[in-house]
Amino acid sequence: MQWPVIALTQVDEYAVTLDQVRHDNAALRQARLVDAEQAQRLEILEAENQYLRKLLETKRMLGARVQPATILYSARDPFNRRVILDRGADQGVIEGQPVVDDQGVVGQVTRVAPDYAEVTLLTDRNQSIPAQVVRNGLRTVVFGTGDGRLEMRYMSSNADVQVGDWVVTSGIDGVYPRGLRVGKVESLESDPNGIFSKFILTPAAGMGRYGEVLLLEPITLPTDRPASLDRPADQATGATMSKKKRKAQ
């Protein structure tokens, strides 16, 4: 006749297990919260990692003459779109250098200080870039509008451009290398006179999405001058002098 004892131990065991389970449950819940937080951070890190990998790939594709840079902040002047990079003249940055990210052209270096550089974004109202429609090679110039989009102005009304066409740099300006993505044609705005049409583009590069960009070397340096101009002045006048002398003799 031991059933009361057995029953009691069983009840006791049941209660203890229940308590244990409750404890474990609370602990696990807490652990899960911590894990979730870490998982979220992992997600962000993964996205950033992917972006940096793409940037690295872009660097490999464009050749070795590129320089990575970080966007520090956007310029104080509220009337245009410029950002400040953490590389400057001390790191070999020069005015006119194109700036790209993994998706396309971001803008151009417009001012250089010893340890920072100012980049005017493509979407700035005063910025323009020579471009080309990928589908048929039609050459044009793309302008910034100031409201985060780009436009192709004064296209003839029968120009062969369709919504969804990709527009890339044409490379004829000697600054931007050929074939970098500029934007995608989003819509067409007709002129009421019917002479010209205007195409609105969405920029390809993620303007201000990530903080890392690449500085490219311009195809030809903007400070390059024709060799004839670099001849020293006295030498040039000397040549004419000798001619005159020869004539006099």
- Site residues (CB under 8 A) for another protein? 72-80, 82, 84, 111, 118, 124-126, 146-147
Least distance from C-beta 118 to another protein, angstroms?
Answer: 6
Torsion angle of C-alpha atoms 204, 207, 213, 217, degrees rounded to 10: 60
Least distance from C-beta 84 to another protein, angstroms?
Answer: 7
Which residues are bridge partners to 201 per DSSP?
150, 185
Amino acid letter, 130 = P
**In this complex, which beta carbon is closest to another protein, that of residue 69 or of residue 161?**
69
**In this complex, which beta carbon is closest to another protein, that of residue 3 or of residue 79?**
79
**In this complex, which beta carbon is closest to another protein, that of residue 76 or of residue 246?**
76
DSSP string, 49-77: HHHHHHHHHHHHHH-S-EEEEEEEEE-S-
Least distance from C-beta 141 to another protein, angstroms?
Answer: 16
**In this complex, which beta carbon is closest to another protein, that of residue 77 or of residue 234?**
77
How far, CA to CA in Å, does 90 sit from each of 68, 86, 142, 213? Answer: 14, 11, 32, 18
**Dist CA 149 CA 202 (whole Å):** 5
- Determine which helix (DSSP H) or strand (DSSP E) holds 24, and give its type and residue range: helix 3-62
**Dist CA 170 CA 30 (whole Å):** 57
* φ and ψ at residue 10, rounded to 5 degrees: -65, -45
**In this complex, which beta carbon is closest to another protein, that of residue 77 or of residue 230?**
77
